[in-house]
Amino acid sequence: MGENLKRTPLYEEHVAAGAKIVPFAGFEMPVQYKTGILAEHNAVRMRAGLFDVSHMGELYVRGPQALDLVQYVTTNDASKLVVGQAQYSVICREDGGCVDDCIVYRFADHYMIVVNASNKDKDRDWIWHHGEKFDVQLDDKSEEVALLAIQGPKAPDIVARLTKTDLDAIKYYHFAEGDVGGVQAIISRTGYTGEDGFELYVAAGDAVKLWRMLLQEGAVEAIIPAGLGCRDSLRLEMGYALYGNDIDDKHTPLEAGLGWVTKLDKADFIGKAALAKQKETGVRHKLVGFILKEQGFPRHGYAVRCNGELGGEVTSGTVSPTLQQGVGLAYVPSESSKIGTEIEIMVRDKAVKAEVARPPFYKNGSVRKA
């Protein structure tokens, strides 16, 4: 491992559990444990899995103009948030390219912007730079905060036994602050798997205690620790985008299928003019989901043929462990982006038939969106 790689507060727990450690987003992270990616994937789909996502960045915005800054640097409309609600959003450049995707949390007296680990410093500097013209206080709490994600249909039962907080009152993309097993936590009903569960933000010094407690309490449900490998296969079954693969600064949120979090009717924000112009003229390429109609393993970087001609590229792909079928995301010409359109994925120079499909590919997840 490189000397400059960071470690989360749970690194020693992963090593003790026999995890295979790999470099990821500047950290030494577990890609899988002794159980293997398939077992971890199935545990999350059927029971519960526990992820360490403490590498994510937490940026705090306070002050009289906190909302104004959040509105200016993100595409979604944060003015619609009530205290205890979270919102998926995108941070854009002036040309509309995506700096990062993020989740904005509204507290009574501040906002928390959770960003991807690989972009944390870039995002922080970008927001801090634009924050100079606003009356705000900005804090990077990433080193002080650990984040555990307990996901799966049995996850709420496990957490419920460790807290007096009314979990049923926490709706999808909402959160509460409460005690979980003696640890103060932000209990957020969010996740990246398509299953019900919570992301628990705690002080870095409490991470090991809570990690062990969740695994011990969840033993009756056969909970297991889960790594980056199954996190990727789980999110792909849902068609969730990953920054660096499916979202990047070369594409706008409109091209990435994120028009639903791009509110062009709100006050000015970074990239608004470019995005409004693009919406008027139309996008040339669009990120779509696809399902293979034949056997094959679609991978990042594979070419896509539309109408017999090379015209796109796979950004993320896998063989779904649950569906036993190749699925993925790809940029294709707009004229080939309609659901049901036949395309071909070039798998090792062989054209494999596929069809543009609307995610989620796995439709039986336990996530509660109502």
CATH number of the domain where residue 130 is located: 3.30.70.1400
CATH assignment of the domain containing 225 = 3.30.1360.120
Picking from 108, 140, 172, the residue at the C-terminal end of a domain is 140
Q: Are 52 and 148 contained in the same domain?
A: yes
Question: What DSSP state is assigned to residue 6?
Answer: B
Domain check: are 208 and 79 in the same one? no
Angular region, 141: left φ>0, alpha ψ -120 to 50, beta rest: alpha
Residue 368 is predicted with a pLDDT of 76
Do the Cβ atoms of 111 and 60 come closer than 8 Å?
Answer: yes
Domain membership of residue 150 (yes or no) is yes
* Residue 168 burial (C-beta neighbours within 10 Å; 0-12, 13-18, 19+): exposed
Q: Which two tokens stand for residue 368?
A: 């509660």
Domains of the chain: total:
2
- What's the chain's length in residues? 370
Q: Are residues 45 and 80 in the same domain?
A: no
DSSP classification of residue 360: P
Of 75, 150, 159, 170, nearest to 113 by C-alpha is 75
In a domain, 203, yes or no: yes
Do 175 and 217 have their domain in common? Answer: yes
Task: Give the dihedral sign, CA 203/205/206/210.
Answer: positive
Q: What is the pLDDT of residue 369?
A: 76
Examine the domain organization and report whether 65 and 27 are in the same domain: no
Do 52 and 63 lie in one domain? The reply is no
Same domain, 61 and 93: yes
Query: Which residues is 147 bridged to in the sheet?
Result: 201
Query: From the CB of residue 299, how many other CB atoms can be counted at a distance below 10 Å?
Result: 15
DSSP string, 225-283: E--HHHHHHHHHHHT---BTTTB-TTS-TTTTT-GGG--TTSS--TTHHHHHHHHHH--
Q: Say whether both 134 and 183 belong to one domain.
A: no
Identify the three-state secondary structure at position 209. Answer: helix
Residue 288 lies in a domain: no
Residue 78 sits in the same domain as residue 134: yes
pLDDT for the residue 370: 59
Q: Are residues 153 and 46 in the same domain?
A: yes
Q: Give the DSSP per-residue string, 31-75.
A: EE-TT-HHHHHHHHHHS-EEEE-TTSEEEEEESTTHHHHHHHH-S
The contacts of residue 209 (CB under 8 Å, 6+ apart) are 181, 182, 183
Q: Are strands 49-52 and 183-188 parallel, antiparallel or unpaired?
A: unpaired
- Helix then strand count (H, E) for the chain reads 8, 19
Domain extent at residue 133: 57-140
Nearest to 289 by CA among 197, 363, 184: 363
Q: Per-residue pLDDT tens for 125-134?
A: 999 999 999 9
Spell out the per-residue pLDDT of the chain, length 370, in tens: 556 899 999 999 999 999 999 999 999 999 999 999 999 999 999 999 999 999 999 999 999 999 999 999 999 999 999 999 999 999 999 999 999 999 999 999 999 999 999 999 999 999 999 999 999 999 999 999 999 999 999 999 999 999 999 999 999 999 999 999 999 999 999 999 999 999 999 999 999 999 999 999 999 999 999 999 999 999 999 999 999 999 999 999 999 999 999 999 999 999 999 999 999 999 999 999 999 999 999 999 999 999 999 999 999 999 999 999 999 999 999 999 999 999 999 999 899 999 999 999 999 999 977 5
Does residue 358 belong to any structural domain of this protein?
no
| pLDDT value, residue 3 | 64
Domain boundary residue, one of 92, 124, 140: 140
In a domain, 163, yes or no: yes
My answer on whether 154 and 230 are in the same domain is yes
Does residue 338 lie in a domain region? no
Quote the CA–CA distance of 70 and 131 in Å, as a whole number: 9
123, 140, 157 — which closes off a domain?
140
Q: Which amino acid is at 359?
A: P
Question: Do 181 and 202 fall into the same domain?
Answer: yes
Q: Are 330 and 288 in contact (CB under 8 A)?
A: yes
What single string gives the DSSP state of each residue in 152-194?
A: STTHHHHHHTT--S-GGG--TTBEEEEEETTEEEEEE---SSS
The answer to whether 162 and 181 are in contact (CB under 8 A) is yes
The residues, ordered by sequence, that sit 6+ positions from 169 with a Cβ below 8 Å of its Cβ are 176
Question: 51 in a domain, yes or no?
Answer: yes
pTM check: above 0.75: yes
Contact 339, 269 (CB under 8 A): no
**Residue 272, in any domain of the structure:** no
